[in-house]
């Protein structure tokens, strides 16, 4: 149930809950004013030049954020929707800067790692603009390098050398394999023209040797038992 005093307040004027919120907001604004007055003198070019770049970026971002928030609050108090106001584009820009700043802060907290990465295209453009006495041909070569065509040509040359090396290596492997097979064939076959493989070879058998083998086989047949 609603108390009588609250009913009288709501009927006679603004509800107490709204007044409490207004008083809290006013208290926060007074605190912000005192802190903001201490912060503004620090936003000085001479002072900013003495602090590290990352802290300088944080200070400038904080100032922009406070200004945009105060303007948004003023618009809401006047019944204007900030999304329908030109300040919306500035708020979107602040969101982008906030993402970049947070990413830089994360990189700053990360352990130091040696970096040897070089942007060749940017370096080529820098050299081209710093040398005024270049010939048209040299300028064209520099532009080709800045577009990455030089890297493409070097990549094609390396690919051609690699293919050439692979083809020569493949031919040398084939030659070694062929030599190995020929050597193995000589060791297995020797000078045998009959095509008998393996270490057991019958070379130059005479007719007398054939008769002797036949006699041995006949004697063995005579010794077999007859059933």
Question: Domain for residue 137, yes or no?
Answer: no
Question: Domain for residue 173, yes or no?
Answer: yes
Question: Domain for residue 203, yes or no?
Answer: no
Other C-beta atoms closer than 10 Å to the C-beta of 85 total 14
Residue 104 has pLDDT above 80, yes or no: yes
pLDDT (mean) for 87-91: 86
Give me the pLDDT at residue 23, please. Answer: 92
Q: For residues 41 and 45, what is the distance between their CA atoms, to the nearest angstrom? A: 10
Question: Domain for residue 135, yes or no?
Answer: no
Residues 181 and 103 both lie in one domain = no
Q: What is the residue whose two structure tokens read 């058998």?
A: 205
Give, for 198, the enclosing helix (H) or strand (E).
Answer: none
Q: Please tell me the total count of domains within the chain.
A: 2
Quote the domain boundaries for residue 164: 156-189
Question: Domain for residue 48, yes or no?
Answer: yes
User: Phi/psi of residue 24, each to 5°?
Assistant: -65, -40
Token representation of residue 86: 């030109």
Chosen domain end from 93, 108, 123: 108
Question: Poorest-confidence range of 68-72, 91-95, 206-210?
Answer: 206-210
Residues 6+ apart with CB under 8 A from 62: 39
Query: Half-sphere exposure of residue 83, counting CA atoms within 13 Å on the CB side?
Result: 0
Residues 89 and 23 both lie in one domain = yes
Question: Domain for residue 179, yes or no?
Answer: yes
pLDDT (mean) for 21-44: 84
Q: What is the pTM of this model?
A: 0.38
Question: Domain for residue 95, yes or no?
Answer: yes
N residues, the chain: 227
């Amino acid at each position: 149930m609603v108390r009588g005093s609250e009913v009288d307040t709501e009927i006679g004027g603004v509800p107490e809950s709204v007044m409490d919120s207004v008083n809290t907001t006013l208290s926060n604004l007074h605190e912000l004013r005192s802190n903001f007055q201490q912060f503004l003198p620090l936003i000085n070019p001479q002072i900013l030049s003495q602090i590290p770049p990352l802290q300088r970026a944080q200070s400038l971002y904080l100032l922009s954020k406070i200004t945009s928030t105060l303007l948004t609050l003023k618009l809401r108090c006047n019944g204007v929707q900030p999304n329908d106001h030109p300040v919306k584009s500035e708020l979107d820009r602040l969101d982008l800067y906030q993402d970049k700043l947070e990413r830089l802060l994360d990189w700053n907290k990360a352990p130091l790692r040696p970096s040897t990465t070089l942007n060749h295209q940017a370096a080529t453009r820098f050299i081209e603009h710093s040398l005024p006495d270049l010939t048209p041909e040299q300028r064209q070569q520099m532009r080709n390098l800045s577009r990455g065509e030089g890297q493409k040509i070097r990549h094609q040359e390396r690919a051609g050398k690699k293919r050439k090396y692979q083809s020569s290596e493949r031919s040398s492997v084939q030659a070694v394999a062929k030599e190995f097979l020929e050597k193995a064939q000589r060791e297995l076959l020797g000078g045998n023209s009959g095509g008998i493989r393996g270490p057991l070879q019958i070379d130059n058998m005479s007719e007398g040797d054939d008769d002797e083998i036949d006699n041995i086989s006949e004697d063995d047949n005579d010794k077999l038992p007859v059933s």
